[in-house]
Amino acid sequence: MSAFDAKTTTDEQREQADPAAPGAPPEAPGGAGSPASSPQGSGGPAGSPQGSGAPQGQQGPGAPTGAQPHAGAPEDPAAEDEALSGDVQELMVVAAQRDEYLALAQRTQADFENYRKRVARDAAAASERGATKLARELLPALDNLDRALDEARNGREGVAGAGVGAEGEGGDPLLDGLRLVRSQLAGALGAVGIEEFSPLGDPFDPNRHEAMAQRPAAAGEESGRVVEVYQSGYRLGESVIRPARVLVTS
């Protein structure tokens, strides 16, 4: 064998071992030996990753990419739990502040209600003290009027004469004036709640009565009863301004 024949044989063996080696004739497009998904070629099918005009390493429009997440992919559950926990904590803080403000408003309302009641109670007590003080100043004058009227009544009982009849009818104008003054004073005291009481026949009560004297109980009388009133008492509600001066059986 000559040297030319040996080289030709070597070249044919190399082409059979490596078809893509230089010097190999290009295969016809769409040949029977070409795969369906050829990675390159101008006439490659539509499903090939690269086209004839697309640079290597770039993807065509619409091709899926693995680097970016899908638009509809669910969020991270840990992030959702953290956001939900933050919302719950914020709601708890707001609820605590609401309860604190509500309690403060309730305490303020209760304090104001107590203050209003205390002011009303103090005002009533002050009014009662003022009326009591005024009554104690006026009662001696009222007692003197009663004494004057009693003396005039007792003196006129033994005097006979024309025009002496019922009290206030055809009598002395001076006595009528005294009775009128006495009635007006008693009405003024009654207007502020001060009333007169005469405990004749009542059981003796040391809180409302002042025993000036005692006498033995007669037949049919009970011991400890008021049988005579020397001076009427006065009271304002349940408070006694002046006790009644009485005679009590023993």
Q: Could you tell me if residue 213 is inside a domain?
A: yes
Q: Could you tell me if residue 236 is inside a domain?
A: yes
- Which residues, 6 or more positions from 248, have their beta carbon under 8 angstroms from its beta carbon? 204, 209, 211, 213, 214, 215, 224, 225, 226, 227
Three-state DSSP state, 229: strand
Could you list the residue range(s) of the whole structural domain that residue 236 is in? 193-250
Higher pLDDT, 6 or 139: 139
> What does the pLDDT read at residue 156?
72
Q: Each residue of 43-96: pLDDT tens digit?
A: 444 444 444 444 444 444 444 454 454 455 556 777 787 788 878 888 988 999
Q: Could you tell me if residue 197 is inside a domain?
A: yes
Q: Could you tell me if residue 235 is inside a domain?
A: yes
Higher pLDDT, 113 or 46: 113
Position 162 confidence tier, pLDDT thresholds 50, 70, 90 = very low
Q: Could you tell me if residue 233 is inside a domain?
A: yes
229 in Cβ contact with 246 (< 8 Å): yes
As a whole number, mean pLDDT of residues 186-213 equals 91
Which pTM value belongs to this model? Answer: 0.52
Q: Hey, what are 202's tokens?
A: 């009542």
- Which residues, 6 or more positions from 59, have their beta carbon under 8 angstroms from its beta carbon? 49, 65
CATH of the domain at 238: 2.30.22.10
Q: Could you tell me if residue 162 is inside a domain?
A: no
As a whole number, mean pLDDT of residues 195-210 equals 92
> What does the pLDDT read at residue 217?
87
Give the count of domains, the chain: 1
Side-chain half-sphere exposure of 123, counting CA atoms within 13 A: 6
Q: Could you tell me if residue 207 is inside a domain?
A: yes
As a whole number, mean pLDDT of residues 157-170 equals 50
Position 160 confidence tier, pLDDT thresholds 50, 70, 90 = very low
- Cα distance between residue 112 and residue 123, in whole Å: 16
Q: Could you tell me if residue 242 is inside a domain?
A: yes
- Cα distance between residue 228 and residue 246, in whole Å: 6
> What does the pLDDT read at residue 76?
77
Helices (H), the chain: 3-17, 77-157, 173-191
Q: Return mean pLDDT, the chain.
A: 75
